[in-house]
Amino acid sequence: MKPGDIPAVCRLLRREYAKRYAPVVKLAELRADDPFKVLVTTILSARTKDEMTIQVAERLFSRVKGPGDFRRMSQDDIEKLIFPIGFYRTKARHLKLLPEALDSRFGGRIPQSVEELCELPGVGRKTANLVVVDAFDKYGICVDVHVHRITNRLGLVRTRNPLETEMALRKILPRRYWKRWNSFLVSFGQTVCKPVRPLCGLCPIYRHCARIGVRVSG
């Protein structure tokens, strides 16, 4: 795949996203455009499958409506609410620290820039970019394992880690595609271009991958 293929590939991925109800779609519906829910669910989702994140987030949001609720809870209470999500103790600690961090640095508001969001406990660039896009409708490129894997598998970038992938995409991906690139590729990675045994026979963008000789079967 070459940069010139991006518009055609995005059109195909948009159709695929609408056709397949991947876990990421339900997760997006759960958090809607609420900045607090987007931030919390993205913290929870780190190194965790979306199916588990959805289950835990639904339980958590039945008790927690805003940052102040974490202040009133003990870390142990938060751990019990988010168990058995991956790294639940570390994530509970971050959530417990969240209200104070928001109050002391941002006047209690969730910041709207990637750089400021990265100052919050448990927030890296992936989380920050997703919050910027989904909560505030600003431009960002969220790169998780699916985006990193698929863009390299296609041959669009040659990078070693998600940060390198984000920086590379910022140079070659037209800005109009930034906001939805993550959603399209995560859904695609969950349903078709899987980490192991991707369904190449069902892939609508296979020709864009295969014509430059990229192996897509592993």
CATH of the domain at 70: 1.10.340.30
99 and 41 in one domain?
A: yes
Give the number of other CB atoms < 10 A from CB of residue 24.
Answer: 25
In a domain, 49, yes or no: yes
Residue 215 lies in a domain: no
Token pair in block for residue 188: 């695609």
Residues 199-208 have pLDDT tens digits of 999 999 999 8
Split into its structural domains, the chain has a count of 2
Contacts of 55 (CB under 8 A, 6+ apart): none
Would you say residue 101 lies in a domain?
yes
Residue-range definition of the domain harbouring residue 84: 34-136
Count CA atoms within 13 Å of residue 1 on its CB side: 25
Q: What angle do CA 96, 99, 102 make, to 5 degrees?
A: 135
pLDDT in tens, 67-118: 999 999 999 999 999 999 999 999 999 999 999 999 999 999 999 999 999 9
* pLDDT at residue 58 tops 80: yes
Does one domain contain both 122 and 174?
no
Q: Do residues 119 and 156 both lie within one domain?
A: no
pTM comes to 0.87
Q: Are residues 99 and 128 in the same domain?
A: yes
Both 178 and 105 in a single domain? no
Where a domain ends, among 136, 152, 170?
A: 136
